[in-house]
Amino acid sequence: MIIKDFAKAFDKVPHRRLLLKLDRYGIRGKALNWTEAFLTQRKQRVVIDGKCSEWVDVKSSVPQGTVTGPMDFLVFINDLPQNLTSSVKLFAGDCIVFRKVSGPEDAGMSQKDLDVLTAWQSKWQMAFNAQKCYVLRVTHSKSPKKFIYTLNNTELAEKKEYPYLGVTLTSNWSWNSHVNYTAAKANRTLGFIKRNLHSCSKQVKNLAYKSLVRPTMEYCGSVWDPSTKELKEKLESVQNRGARFVTADYRRTSSVSHMKQELKWEPLEERRRVTRVCILHQAQSGRLAIPTQTILRPVVRSSRHGSYIQIPCNKNCLKCSFMPKKLIDWNALPQHIKEIEDKNNFKAAVAQHYSQKPITA
């Protein structure tokens, strides 16, 4: 996996080349003329202590903070994956190129893709910051094969972990680092609202916790859902401290479980499980762009209507990953819940089902 970083991504987009791409995508006439008028004929200067520099023309960049700026940037880099043999994921200014590398031939193909990207950046006057582009080797091998990759004649550094779109990816595909970071971040946020809202009402504290602390612990939670008791308890302990803060009850003899029941806070693990099956529910109905054709294979036995064949897993990291866990949860649901089509009604039924059936695994 190669993580790419654009140098000054939004600032380097050349206007004329962007307009050319917009035209190729069929954006013409008044729409293209309006975009050209919006982007071009801009000037800028620097003012320090009342002293002004000369005005200079702005020939590149998409205006940030605008509605069309991000869209223009995405249009500009949309053809980046063309002519690559590796898989590519683009999200705003983030780019990941990845493939399975079993030997020198695969490594050579990866390097060729990097060379193609080098040619792309030269053609379109963009630049990758080689100092901030990294290689992340995802493997469980004790002696993994290591190959050197270069970009702009610069050898790419190797990382053991990397935060991508708010989720920490690691070379051994463990979520320990991400869970530890998430718990620490949630604790800091909880400490912040404790210091600033200690005299507020219970309703305000409850709202602050559910708005600022809990979302931190649930962002992409269905992906990195921890499988070990230690990590699950680390996250739940933050919620326990939050419950004591909201109820203003710090007595050792008080039951935190009763506090959470009073506040109607479900266990975080239960909430992650609800989210998992809701994602599968939306995916199988076509409301989410998840390729399920090769993954969701219905069980042919009539007694298991609505269930799917489990994915064979020979490693614990795969068994505890997103799709296998999701299929286990789905297959265990009662038939009448699986048949609910409306997503809101389905979520409510699943939440009620889990609230009546404590989590045992």
**Residue 293 is part of which domain span?**
271-356
Q: Is 280 helix (H, G, I), strand (E, B) or coil?
A: helix
161 and 301 assigned to the same domain: no
Q: Which of 152, 170, 188 lies at the terminal end of a domain, its last residue?
A: 170
- Longest C-alpha distance within the chain, in Å? 81
Percent of the chain residues topping a pLDDT of 90: 66
227 and 114 assigned to the same domain: no
pLDDT at 214: 97
Mean pLDDT across the chain: 90
Token pair of 257 as six digits: 């479980």
229 and 313 assigned to the same domain: no
134 and 221 assigned to the same domain: no
134 and 234 assigned to the same domain: no
Question: Could you give the angle at the alpha carbon of 131 between the alpha carbons of 127 and 135, nearest 5°?
Answer: 100
Q: Which of 246, 265, 284 lies at the terminal end of a domain, its last residue?
A: 265
Closest listed residue to residue 39, CA positions, set 21, 12, 62: 62
125 and 48 assigned to the same domain: yes
CA distances to 190, 240, 249, 260 from 243, rounded to whole Å, are 11, 5, 8, 6
pLDDT in tens, 227-260: 899 999 999 999 999 999 999 999 999 999 999 9
Total-model pTM: 0.84
96 and 221 assigned to the same domain: no
Question: Could you give the angle at the alpha carbon of 85 between the alpha carbons of 94 and 164, nearest 5°?
Answer: 20
pLDDT in tens, 261-314: 999 999 999 999 999 999 988 888 778 777 766 677 777 765 556 788 777 777
pLDDT grade, residue 359 (50/70/90)? low
Neighbours of 23 (CB within 10 A): 12
What's the structural domain count of the chain? 3
- Provide the residue type at 254 as one letter: S
pLDDT at 288: 79
Q: Residue 185 and residue 181: Cα distance in Å, rounded?
A: 6
How does DSSP classify residue 357? S
Q: Which of 233, 265, 297 lies at the terminal end of a domain, its last residue?
A: 265
pLDDT at 286: 79
pLDDT at 309: 78
Contact 113/84 with Cβ under 8 angstroms?
yes
239 and 326 assigned to the same domain: no
253 domain residue, yes or no: yes
pLDDT at 16: 94
224 domain residue, yes or no: yes
136 and 16 assigned to the same domain: yes
Q: Residue 285 and residue 129: Cα distance in Å, rounded?
A: 41
Supply the DSSP string of 189-226, one letter for each residue. Answer: HHHHHHHHHTTS-HHHHHHHIIIIIHHHHHTTHHHH--
Q: Residue 333 and residue 91: Cα distance in Å, rounded?
A: 34
pLDDT grade, residue 115 (50/70/90)? very high
Average pLDDT (124-142) is: 90
Average pLDDT (171-195) is: 95
62 domain residue, yes or no: yes
pLDDT at 263: 96
Token pair of 168 as six digits: 């920490």
166 and 187 assigned to the same domain: no
Q: Which of 50-64, 187-201, 274-288 has the highest mean pLDDT?
A: 187-201
Token pair of 156 as six digits: 């790419």
CA dihedral 341, 343, 346, 350 (to 10 degrees): 150
65 and 135 assigned to the same domain: yes
361 domain residue, yes or no: no
Give yes or no for residue 357 having a pLDDT over 80.
no
Give yes or no for residue 5 having a pLDDT over 90.
no
